[in-house]
Structures are given as C-alpha cells and as structure tokens.
Amino acid sequence: MTRGIVLLAHGSRDERWRQPIEAVAARVLADEPDARVACAYMELAEPDLPTAVATLVADGATAIRVVPLFLGMGKHAREDLPHQLDALRQRWPAIGFTLARIVGEEPELVDLLARIAVKS
Amino acid sequence: MTRGIVLLAHGSRDERWRQPIEAVAARVLADEPDARVACAYMELAEPDLPTAVATLVADGATAIRVVPLFLGMGKHAREDLPHQLDALRQRWPAIGFTLARIVGEEPELVDLLARIAVKS
C-alpha cells in the first residue's frame, strides 16, 4: 500500500493564503517521506480535489486519505464532500478512499488553539 | 489588568460551522477563568469584531487580544484587520489592543495539522 494524503482547504486567489496549507504538506512529507501528498482547494485556487487525486494516483498512491483543513464546516461542504468522495470511488474503484473529519473537530486542535489564544 | 480575548473567525450562516470556534472559547475560559472571552465573525454571523469588543469592555476587560482563527489569510483580511484594530484603538483609547498573527502561521499548529493528516 502506498499512502496518499490530500490536504483539502477552502482556497483563495491570494498565493500567501495558501502558504500555511503548503507548509503542512511539506511537514507531512518530512514526517512520512514515502507518502504522496497534495494540496487541493474547494474554490478560487488550483488544483481541485479530483485533479489532486489524479496526480496522487498517477504517482502510485493506492490508499488516499482526504483531510479537510477547515476549522468549521457548513451545511454545504458537509453534504457535498461525501458526494465528492463517492465520485472519486467510482472513478478509481481500486483505490481505498477515506474522508477524515474536519480538523476543527479534533480535540487536540481545539486545545492548541486555546493555548495559542491565551499566550501573551 | 483584566484580559479580554476575541476569537475572530470567518463566519457562516450555519450554526454548526461555529461550534469549533465556540469550543475553543470554552476551552480558553476553562484554562483562564478570569479572562473575558468572546467569539467574533468577519461575515455571515454575529457578533462582528467591534460588537464583541464592546461586550468585553463592558465586562471589564482592559487589555484585549484579537486572535484570528484563520488557517490562511488573503490580501483583503491582511490589509483590513490592522485598520479594524486602529478603529478599535480610537474608539477605546484606554484599552490596550493586540492583534495576534493568524493561527495558521504558528509552527506548532502546522506540526499538529501534519500529525492529524498522517494518523490513520
């Protein structure tokens, strides 16, 4: 099994907006040099999720985890993302896809954000 | 000095979108019971930043830190937020205001997001 990880973020026309997302990708690669890692964006930036997944598959990934780097998730994304995953599974039936919960729902993240907020 | 902390997030019409932000606020209060804590939203949700600050001031805060809970920040917010802080300083000259960098630029957060992304 070759792991693929897609870091899925909202997106922005502004290149600097994407720097933290790309920093996370670089950090994942440093921690897991054998993983295939891609950033993807919901809107206003390239690539979108299917394009990022196609790149990872072409690069040999056989199990792909989509990690939504959202602090909050509204109804639209909550309903739309599982549909997008279904479409990916239909297009690449040999690939195992997993959709992680949004990072904002990780207790460790809530703890860290609180620590960042109170530090002087 | 009585600390006030504003957790500033993008905002959404969807109540569930705001839950992680409110979870961070609850966690800050658990860690710092004497602090005054408020959530505020850039758009699509109430209160906005000036309203949240007015609440904290009315509640006795004398030094207020605004913490942007954004993973990425585009040109608009990057230019607009310092102006918003200037307006707050003019309106409440006796209050010490600090604008934190966005949480997406905190190395600890990048590390944690990478760990969340690789966990299976």
Position B78 scores a pLDDT of 87
Q: In this predicted structure, what is the pLDDT of residue A120?
A: 60
Name the B residues in 18-77 with CB < 8 Å from any A CB. Answer: 18-21, 23-24, 27-28, 30-32, 35, 65, 67, 69-76
- Whether ipTM exceeds 0.90: yes
- Residues of B within 8 A of A24 (CB-CB) are 110, 113-114, 117
Domain around B76: 3-118
Query: Which residues of B are designated catalytic?
Result: 10
- CATH code of the domain containing B32: 3.40.50.1400
Residue A6 CB-density burial (10 A; 0-12 exposed, 13-18 middle, 19+ buried)? buried
Q: What is the pLDDT, as a whole number, of residue A20?
A: 94
B11: left (phi over 0), alpha (psi -120 to 50) or beta: left
Q: How many angstroms separate the CA atoms of B98 and A65, rounded?
A: 38
Closest to A23 (Cβ–Cβ): which among B16, B20, B110? B110
Q: How confident is the model at residue B82 (pLDDT cuts 50, 70, 90)?
A: very high
Whether residue B5 and residue A71 make contact (CB cut-off 8 A), yes or no, is no
Confidence tier at B119 by pLDDT (50, 70, 90): confident
Which of B21, B64, B71 to mutate against chain A (most A CBs within 10 Å)?
A: B71
- Give the global pTM: 0.93
Contact B9 A100 (CB under 8 A): no
Give the residue-averaged pLDDT of A58-81. 92
Name the pLDDT band for B120 (thresholds 50, 70, 90).
low
Nearest Cα to B5, choosing from B69, B61, B83?
B61
- Cβ contact B35–A118 (<8 Å): yes
In this predicted structure, the answer to whether residue B41 has a pLDDT above a threshold of 90 is yes
> Nearest by CB to A9, which of B12, B16, B72?
B72
Nearest-CB residue to B5 (from A9, A17, A118): A118
State how far residue B91 is from chain A, nearest Cα, in angstroms.
23
Q: Are strands B3-9 and B36-41 parallel, antiparallel or unpaired?
A: parallel
Asked if B57 contacts B4 with a C-beta cutoff of 8 angstroms, the reply is yes
Mean pLDDT throughout B1-23?
94
Indicate the number of domains in chain A: 1
> How does pLDDT run across A98-117, given as a tens digit for each residue?
999 999 999 999 999 999 99
What are the tens digits of pLDDT across the range A22-45? 999 999 999 999 999 999 999 889
| Alpha carbons B66 and B45: distance in angstroms, whole number | 17
